[in-house]
Amino acid sequence: MAIDPANLPIFGDPSPTDPPAPVRAACGLLVTGAGVSAAQMTYLSVVGGHDLAIFFVPLALTVWFALSLRAGRAWARFAAVMAACVTLVPGFALFSGPGELGVLLVAVALLVAATRLAYRADVRGYFEPEDCPEQERV
């Protein structure tokens, strides 16, 4: 049994369709949020002397899941949001000043906006396959 019920290739659809505007915007916001978190982690690593290399794995996963979200994978909505939440952990754990608060609030605002866009009712049809003949045969 495959993870993707439509049995589409994991790295892209052979016949891609243009995603709706809210999905494209959510993908952009998630990637931007990952960039903001990466900049904050780099700053905390250089200035604070903390070793945060382990948190670059969730950043990479966030970008990958955001691109999978754009490709129409239903599982990627939840996965991208959870991976983006994990990238916020160092900012909360190592909070030390008002400058870091601003960066953290921007990252949280980007995550909330992306989540709202990805779970809108008008884009639900993009993630749910209308006709999946592979499932009917089983």
Query: 25 is in which domain, residue-wise?
Result: 21-125
Most confident of 11-15, 66-70, 125-129: 66-70
Q: Does 1 fall in a domain?
A: no
Q: Does 43 fall in a domain?
A: yes
Q: In this structure, what token pair is assigned to residue 125?
A: 């049809």
Q: Does 63 fall in a domain?
A: yes
Give 89's Cβ-side CA count (13 Å radius). Answer: 14
Among 81, 63, 64, residue whose Cα is nearest residue 117: 81
Alpha helices, DSSP H only, in 49-97? 56-70, 75-87, 89-93
Question: 91 with 103: CB under 8 angstroms?
Answer: yes
Q: Does 138 fall in a domain?
A: no
Q: Does 67 fall in a domain?
A: yes
Q: Does 131 fall in a domain?
A: no
Q: Does 111 fall in a domain?
A: yes
Question: 132 with 6: CB under 8 angstroms?
Answer: yes
Percent of the chain with pLDDT strictly greater than 70:
81
Q: Could you report the per-residue pLDDT of 31-78, keeping only the tens digit for each?
A: 999 999 998 888 888 887 888 888 889 899 999 999 989 888 889 999
Q: Does 90 fall in a domain?
A: yes
Domain count, the chain: 1
**Cα angle: 118, vertex 28, 19; to 5 degrees:** 55
d(CA 6, CA 46): 45
